[in-house]
Chains A and B, each alone.
Chain A
Amino acid sequence: MKSSIFTNSKNVYLDTVDAKDYVQLDRVSTIYQSLKNSVKKPLKMILLFGKPGTGKSMFLSKLQQDLSSTQEIYYYKTPIVDESEFFKSIAKDLYNFQEDKELNFTQIMKIMQDNTKEGVPLILLDEAQLYSDALMEKIRLLSDTRKMKFVIALHKTQSEDLIAKEHFQTRIWESIELKNALKNELKIYIQKKLMKANCFDSANMFSNNSIKLIYSLTDGNYRDTNKLLYTVFEIYEWYYEHNISKINTNKMSHKIIEMAAIHVGLINA
């Protein structure tokens, strides 16, 4: 039934971070490979930055999935802003050290000295811009021990650039910037995602013009594209059920794309 195809297509674009949904794009793959290479180098910290929705979380998720079989790796999707909680989480995950009381920086350093590991565990910190300056300074000191490596993902804003300057500039670190998709990349991204879910009919609905329109609305931002296309297929789903004569199931309607853009706030109408 066609409706189920639209439903499936809609679900493809649910805004979730799952390494399984990672779409292989040439430029993105190159960046991902460079990130993987950086992790193998004796760097204390790696900075992954970019605007919201450029795929930083997906990168970390994918990295965790890919390296977990060969390397000790821990991924903290949400920031642990409380210092004690952060240290307790590190102690528990890395050294199986359970502590009900508060844990301070001196204690975690002592735990690290007492517990030796074969390899250097990799800690992935997402949304690092939410960590306080004091905690970031302590994370830097932890990385200086070379007992653990950090991959820090943060949004690229002016203030976050300042954080990067203050905390990481003097360290040996590598920074990788993620950007929005280009027009041709966006087309591949949209269609690959649908085809992965076997939604071939829906994938064929997109013409170059409809991709152009979507690109003009989302500027190639993956998150915005996901939101937009989720709503597009939701509207298609509704028309299919209630007024099928109004839609052409072979061609993506610009009207519906614009309606979806109005709904998600990409068009101010």
Chain B
Amino acid sequence: MHNIHELEKRWLRYKIKSFIPHVSVTLISILAFIVFMNLDINSMMETETKPTKILSKKIQKVEVAQAPILNIDVIKEVKIPLLKNEPIHKEKNVLLAPSFDFIRKLRNDSTSNYQSNGDTLQEVKTEVTPKIQKKVHVKQDTVVRKKKKQKLKISKQETQADIAHVIKRFHKNNNPALSLFVAKKYYRLGEYDKSYNYALITNQLNNNIDESWIIFSKSLVKLGKRDQAIQTLKRYITFSHSQNAKSLLDNILSGNFK
């Protein structure tokens, strides 16, 4: 008979050999699974941490937009303990924006400086929690209000001084450019009777100035003399063929300009 013990050993070796592929495949599968799980956890961790970075970046944008006015303190407050407490999806719906009332006031003050500041502030929007928004608002308002008071005073003084100075000069040299400037200034300030007068004076001095006729007609409309304005513009167009005048006439006739 055969050497059974030797045969058993060979059989054992064969079994071990035949199991090696199965064992290695199983081990590889387990390892792959573990690696995959780790990657998955890591990616989940990354997605959890990503919003923090995004938020801080956006906040920094606010900082840049409002740079001269906003304090760094505000940004420090914004940064972040809130992120742990607040759900991420809620943050997207919250806007950090300056008060629109404040902007309107700035515009009414009709100073170019204010308007530019206002525009800048209006464009600044970002995502923060409501808590942050409140804090930032408070700070922004206080800062800008201070500025508003100062600049408003200064610009009004400048405008009045400008007009008075130009009128004085106009009386000296009867330059239609100066009278047109005064008419435009008054029109802008909403003093349409004065703008009408100075536009009329300008037209008498030089009846070929487009802008003067346009201010004259606009002032008439604003003073409620729409028909007179239309008549004036039609006559002016017949001899000047001015495109600006035609455009204004169309706007008046269509009711776009009231």
B92 within 8 A of partner (CB): no
| CB-based A-B contact count at 8 angstroms | 33
Question: Which of chain A's residues have a CB closer than 8 A to the CB of B17?
Answer: 269
For residue A269, which residues in chain B have a CB less than 8 angstroms away from its CB? Answer: 10-11, 13-14, 17
CB <8 Å contact, A262 and B1: no
Residues of chain B with a CB closer than 8 A to A234's CB? 1-2
User: Does more than half of chain A's interface fall in helix, strand or loop, or is it mixed?
Assistant: helix
Nearest chain A CB to B143 CB, angstrom units = 87
| A262-B15 Cα distance, complex, nearest whole Å | 11
Is residue A239 within 8 Å, beta carbon to beta carbon, of the partner chain?
yes
Q: Which residues of B contact A258 (CB under 8 A)?
A: 11, 14-15
Specify which chain B residues have a CB less than 8 angstroms from the CB of A23 in the assembled complex: none
What 1/0 mask marks residues of chain B from 1 to 45 whose CB sits below 8 Å from any chain A CB?
Answer: 110100110110111010000000000000000000000000000
The answer to the question of A267 belonging to the interface, with a C-beta cut-off of 8 Å to chain B, is yes
Contact B2 A263 (CB under 8 A): yes
Contact residues of A between 240 and 264, Cβ < 8 Å to B? 242, 255, 258-259, 262-263
Contact B7 A263 (CB under 8 A): yes
Q: Is the CB of B7 within 8 A of A259?
A: yes
Query: Using Cβ atoms and an 8 Å threshold, which residues of chain A touch B14?
Result: 258, 262, 267, 269
**Does any Cβ of B come within 8 Å of A176's Cβ?**
no
CA distance A255 to B13 in the complex (A): 12
Q: How far is the CA of A259 from the CA of B15 in the complex (A)?
A: 10
Q: Choose from B4, B13, B15 the contact partner of A235 (Cβ within 8 Å).
A: B4
| Chain A residue contacts of B1, Cβ below 8 A | 234, 237-238
In the assembled complex, which residues on chain B have CB atoms less than 8 Å from the CB atom of A255? Answer: 11
A267 and B18 CA atoms in complex are apart in Å by 11
> In the complex, which residue of chain B has the Cβ closest to the Cβ of A241?
B1
Task: List, in ascending order, chain A residues with CB within 8 A of B4's CB.
Answer: 235, 238-239, 242, 259
User: Given the complex of chains A and B, what is the CA–CA distance between A263 and B10 in angstroms?
Assistant: 9
B11 surroundings in chain A (CB, below 8 A):
255, 258-259, 262, 269
Segment 150-206 of B: residues with Cβ below 8 Å from A: none
Is the pair B2, A262 in contact by a Cβ cutoff of 8 Å?
no
Are A259's CB and B13's CB within 8 A? Answer: no
Chain B residues 62-111 with CB under 8 Å of chain A are none
B10: chain A residues at CB < 8 Å are 259, 262, 269
A239 to B4, CA, bound (A): 9
- For A238, the chain B residues whose CB sits under 8 A away are 1-2, 4
A238 to B1, CA, bound (A): 7
Would you give the shortest CB distance from A209 to chain B, in whole angstroms? 16
Most chain A CB within a 10 A radius of its CB, from B1, B2, B7, B17: B7
Smallest CB separation, A3 vs chain B (Å): 12
Interface residues of A (CB under 8 A from B): 231, 234-235, 237-239, 242, 255, 258-259, 262-263, 267, 269
Interchain residue pairs with CB less than 8 A apart (8): A231-B2, A234-B2, A235-B7, A238-B1, A259-B4, A262-B11, A269-B13, A269-B17
Q: List chain B positions with a Cβ less than 8 A from chain A.
A: 1-2, 4, 7-8, 10-11, 13-15, 17
Q: A238-B4, A258-B11 are in contact. List 7 more A-B contacts (CB 8 A).
A: A235-B2, A258-B14, A258-B15, A262-B7, A262-B10, A262-B11, A269-B11
The 8 closest A-B pairs by CB, nearest first: A269-B14, A259-B11, A269-B10, A259-B7, A238-B1, A262-B10, A238-B4, A258-B11
